């Protein structure tokens, strides 16, 4: 119970890496604020966590909606308002089109979610951390923020923005006890590719064909590691990928 009663807010907890983070932080005794648009998925997840109902607070939230984010944070019940750890995980890719053929709606969805949504959460949660002089912001970036791949143009640029935001936040919080970490995975098998290809599951499955990808639990493990170091230790950035992957485009397929 290493995180006994610490309050952890996880965005995008209805699936994949966010749901895995919820499981690992719940096991460590944390109190969880879980946010996503699909409330039914959050409710299903809570059933599997095996924690008392007063240990979890659910918020149906679209992180792209700034006023909704402001209202969700400012209306937290007093016992939930002192957030210790913010995990900015909500995010998505849409399409793999060449830039000059790209879909405007896809671009806006990625930029509004991955960049602006992450900024809104950070802007509304971090002032409380500064006041209390304690806290930790963990951003889920990507190897896509370190290297651009064909068709990745806008998604990669959003993750490059996450990298810059993590670095900037760390600099701006210098002099406080607040930690900032970016966890940047390669290929993780989640709903990510289904969402990228707008529900084309056959195309999504091919992404992971012949590869042993990372699991959401692998990433959650690393997030948990970063969150449980001695208070004077800041893990700035972790890049992780499957053994069968060397870069966004270099993947060893065994079949």
Active site residues: 155
Query: Phi/psi of residue 80, each to 5°?
Result: -115, 0
Nearer to ligand 8X3, 82 or 112 (CB): 112
By CB under 6 A, is residue 143 in contact with ligand 8X3?
A: yes
Give the CA distances from residue 152 to residues 48, 182, 237, in Å, rounded to whole numbers and listed in that order.
Answer: 35, 20, 21
Instruction: Please identify, using beta-carbon distances, which residue of 75 and 247 lies nearer to ligand 8X3.
Output: 247
Build a one-symbol-per-residue string for 29-68: x at contacts with ligand NDP by CB under 6 A, - elsewhere: -------xxx--x-------------------xxxx----
Minimum distance from CB of 147 to ligand NDP (Å)? 12
Site for ligand 8X3 in 5-64 (CB under 6 A): none
What beta strand segments (E) does 30-95 contain?
31-36, 56-60, 85-88
What distance lies between CA 211 and its chain's CA centroid? 23
Which is nearer to ligand 8X3, 13 or 32 (by Cβ)?
Answer: 13
Enumerate residues 185-204 that contact ligand NDP by CB under 6 A.
185, 187-188, 190-192, 195
List the single partner that 248 binds among ligand NDP, ligand 8X3, none, CB under 5 to 8 Å by kind. ligand 8X3
Among 7, 56, 125, 140, interactor with ligand NDP by CB under 6 A: 140
CB 184 within 8 A of CB 239: yes
DSSP assignment of 132-152 equals HT-EEEEEE--GGGT---TT-
CB 106 within 8 A of CB 149: no
Pairing of strands 7-11, 178-185: unpaired
Looking at the Cβ atoms of 135 and 186, the one nearer to ligand 8X3 is: 186
Q: Return the number of the residue (95 or 216) whose C-beta is nearest ligand NDP.
A: 216
Our finding on whether 142 is near ligand 8X3 (CB under 6 A) is yes
Nearest to 112 by CA among 174, 37, 42: 37
Chosen residue from 73, 125, 144, 165 binding ligand 8X3 by CB under 6 A: 144
**Binding residues with ligand NDP: total (CB under 6 A):** 31
Q: List all residues 6 or more positions away from 129 whose beta carbon is below 8 Å from its beta carbon.
A: 83, 86, 135, 137, 176, 178
Spell 184-205 as b/e; 16+ CB within 10 A means b. Answer: bbbbbbbbbbbbbbeeeeeebe
Total chain residues near ligand 8X3 (CB under 6 A): 7
* Contact yes or no for 91/140 (Cβ under 8 A): yes
Region 164-193 residues binding ligand 8X3, contact defined as CB under 6 A: 186-187
Residues in the site for ligand NDP, rule: CB under 6 A?
11-12, 14-18, 36-38, 41, 61-64, 89-92, 113, 117, 140, 142, 185, 187-188, 190-192, 195, 216
Residues in the site for ligand 8X3, rule: CB under 6 A?
142-144, 152, 186-187, 248
């Amino acid at each position: 119970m290493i995180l006994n009663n610490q309050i952890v807010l996880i965005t995008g907890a209805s699936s994949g890496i966010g749901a895995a983070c919820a499981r690992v932080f719940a096991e460590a005794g944390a109190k969880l604020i879980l946010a996503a648009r699909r409330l039914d998925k959050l409710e299903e997840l809570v059933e599997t966590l095996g924690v008392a109902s007063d240990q979890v607070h659910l918020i149906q939230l679209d992180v792209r909606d700034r006023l909704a984010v402001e209202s969700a944070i400012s209306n937290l019940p007093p016992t939930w308002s002192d957030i210790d750890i913010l995990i900015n995980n909500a995010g998505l890719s849409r399409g793999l089109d060449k830039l000059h053929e790209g879909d405007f709606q896809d671009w806006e969805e990625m930029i509004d979610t991955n960049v602006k949504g992450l900024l809104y959460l950070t802007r509304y949660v971090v002032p409380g951390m500064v006041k209390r002089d304690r806290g930790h912001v963990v951003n889920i970036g990507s190897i896509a923020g370190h290297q651009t791949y064909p068709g990745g143009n806008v998604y990669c640029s959003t993750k490059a923005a996450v990298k810059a935001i993590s670095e900037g936040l760390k600099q701006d919080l210098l002099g406080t006890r607040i930690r900032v970490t970016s966890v940047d995975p390669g290929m993780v098998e989640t709903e990510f590719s289904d969402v990228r290809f707008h529900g084309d599951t056959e195309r999504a499955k091919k992404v992971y064909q012949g590869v042993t990808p990372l699991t959401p639990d692998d990433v959650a493990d690393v997030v948990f590691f970063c969150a449980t170091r001695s208070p004077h230790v800041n893990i700035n950035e972790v890049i992780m990928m499957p053994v069968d992957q060397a870069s966004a485009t270099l993947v060893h397929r065994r079949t």
